[in-house]
Amino acid sequence: MSASPHRITSSNDLPVRLGRFIIREELGRGSLGIVYLAHDPVIDRLVAIKTLRPRLGHTERQLYEEQFINEARAAGQLSHANIVVIHDIGSEGSTPFMAMEYLHGREISKMLEDGERFTPDDVASIGWKIADALDHAHQHGVVHRDVKPANIFLVDDHQPKIMDFGIARIPNRLSETPAKGEATPTLFHDNLLGTPHYMSPEQANGQAVDPRTDIYSLGAVMFEMLTGHKPFEASDTEKLLQQITSRRMLAPHKLASDVPLALSRIVSKAMHRDPEKRYQRAAEMALDIKRHLTLARREQRRLPTDEETSAIVETRRPALLWPLIGLACAAAMIVYARWPMLGR
């Protein structure tokens, strides 16, 4: 979400202000919500304002208003450098809105869509920070449940930020089950919460989840960043969910030869079908990634060992030997040519 400040404008779709926040411009919109760039005159800073589209049906509006409150409650409990900051939540008339940290950069999903490739070191660096942020959330009783490339924003200095805690499981979460007799929105298809490609097997089965579901989802995100492919692909959601719950995942290094074996094993462990065989805490995953990254960078910087230096000298010796032999022969010929004169 990046944009340069503009003069305040007003149109049928662009409100002048929401609460105390003065709207500058629209940053983007989806089927359910709109994000604006706004100015906070009290703190004198730019913020991103997230709000619902005005023409949602009653059931959808009620559901997503609850998500707004849940997101504010979840993110509001957390304070971490890699989690987006929620500044305020309120309403203007019947329109709820949320004021968030204004970020310069792009979602990882858009970068992947544009064909951008991440180096293994990039993926490791981003992965350990997200794992550390998830561990912070888990310690506060918050399970994100929708970790995916679209919910990870990469700011200009390559620092990741987790966003959108709308379906997070928190201790004081509002009901996530539609009222009896109401239509079930797509989000709750077959009583599932989340995004199918990044769901853990237990989430895909509609079972109760714990922090290990976020660990699986982070592994799936890293898998896609490393290989350029999603872990599982299918023609429809039902087949995709079957693959997630029953099919064995191919290790990342077998799809992309530049993926280090150690990093591939970390991703594979995070994505194990059996939650008991995954990392049990996101902090454990973060620690393994940091160790890998430290060793990889040390390997890149280190000086050659004595054995490696000797091998280099041995390799170069034949190339240096022939000029020396040539010089020796030339000297011998000169001495031989002058030998009669020296004998006189």
Round to whole Å and give the CA distance between 288 and 294. 10
Radius of gyration of the chain (CA): 29
| pLDDT at 145 (0 to 100) | 93
Contact status, residue 89 vs residue 47, Cβ threshold 8 Å: no
Round to whole Å and give the CA distance between 106 and 129. 17
And the tokens for 111? 């970068």
**b/e per residue 210-229 (b: at least 16 CB within 10 A):** ebbbbbbbbbbbbbbbbbee
Place of tokens 């290990």: 212
Round to whole Å and give the CA distance between 272 and 290. 20
| pLDDT at 148 (0 to 100) | 96
| pLDDT at 18 (0 to 100) | 92
| Maximum Cα–Cα distance across the chain | 126
Q: Is residue 146 flagged as an active site residue?
A: yes
| pLDDT at 43 (0 to 100) | 92
Q: Which of 88, 132, 146, 214 is catalytic?
A: 146
Classify domain 105-300 at the CATH class level: mainly alpha
Q: How much is the pTM?
A: 0.79
Provide the terminal-to-terminal Cα distance of the chain, rounded to the nearest Å.
Answer: 95
Domain ranges of the chain: 17-101, 105-300
Place of tokens 């030339």: 330
DSSP 258-314: TS-HHHHHHHHHHT-SSGGGS-SSHHHHHHHHHHHHHHHHHHHHPPPPHHHHHHHHH
Per-residue model confidence as pLDDT tens for the chain (344 residues): 444 333 334 445 688 999 999 999 999 887 678 999 999 999 999 999 999 887 777 777 777 777 778 888 888 889 999 999 999 888 888 788 999 999 999 999 999 999 998 999 999 999 999 999 999 999 999 999 999 999 999 998 889 999 988 888 887 655 554 444 333 333 444 445 678 999 999 999 989 899 999 999 999 999 999 999 999 998 889 999 999 999 988 999 999 999 999 999 999 999 999 999 999 999 999 999 999 999 988 887 765 655 655 654 555 455 555 565 566 666 656 555 555 554 44
CATH architecture of 17-101: 2-Layer Sandwich (3.30)
For residue 289, count other CB atoms closer than 10 A to its CB: 27
DSSP 90-124: EEETTEEEEEEE---EEEHHHHHHTT----HHHHH
Round to whole Å and give the CA distance between 73 and 240. 32
| pLDDT at 310 (0 to 100) | 60
| pLDDT at 184 (0 to 100) | 33
**Three-state SS sequence of 43-93:** CCEEEEEEEECCCCCHHHHHHHHHHHHHHHHHHHCCCCCCECCEEEEEEEC
Residue 20 main-chain phi, psi, to 5 deg: -85, -5
| pLDDT at 59 (0 to 100) | 78
For 118-176, strand residue ranges (E) read 152-155, 160-162
| pLDDT at 186 (0 to 100) | 35
Q: What is the DSSP letter of 201?
A: H
